[in-house]
Chain A
């Protein structure tokens, strides 16, 4: 079983809609959770970090963590064409493990 699994996508949403990305992880000892964004041909860059159960908001992005269910999600509100990218879920426990990524396309 893969350590970090993401909904496979691709995900296509209209401009202004909410994009919802999901991630599950297998290691209950995981301490920290991250969402990275990767534009085509570019390197990943961090957009959200979350460490405790609940919601973490930053602008149009909200990360949600449920450790009991071993589940992390990312919501992108008011999606813009510039949000079109691959989103990588990453889980930290001594080392960082990445999911395969979900590609999001925002239709203008």
Chain B
């Protein structure tokens, strides 16, 4: 069964803390993605990776960084958390291909920054 897991379902952090969100997929997918989802704004792409040790900025990368040291793991880092980063964070993975393949999503991490 296809599976994308995320390290926490709920997380509460203080302003200024460094926050790590972990995502692991067991489907041997090349591509991995980090989104945030906010009411009325839909899913917005933060960063994505098409290969190990490779990363590309999405639409809203400011305040975030990522790490992909192994094919199955993609980490999102908030260097200094701020209240406007309170959101639902969704990780996804997919196969590679010119037409774009189905993205499988993890259960999400609801992050609250106080």
Residues of chain A touching chain B, judged by Cβ–Cβ distance below 8 Å, are 31-32, 34, 42-46, 49, 51, 88, 92, 95-101
Contact = CB atoms under 8 A, between A and B. Distances in A.
A35 to B, nearest CB: 11
A100 B107 contact: no
A43 B107 contact: yes
A100 to B, nearest CB: 4
The size class of the interface chain B forms with chain A is: 20 to 34
Contacts of A45: 105
Interface stretch (B22-30, B40-48, B68-76): B40-48
Contacts of B107: 42-43
Interface of B: 33, 35, 40-45, 48, 58-59, 90, 98-100, 102-103, 105-108
A88 B43 contact: yes
A49 B107 CA distance: 22
Contacts of B102: 34, 46, 49
A50 to B, nearest CB: 11
Contacts of A34: 100, 102
Nearest to B103: A96
A31 B99 CA distance: 6
A92 B99 contact: yes
A99 B42 CA distance: 6
B33 to A, nearest CB: 8
A55 B89 CA distance: 33
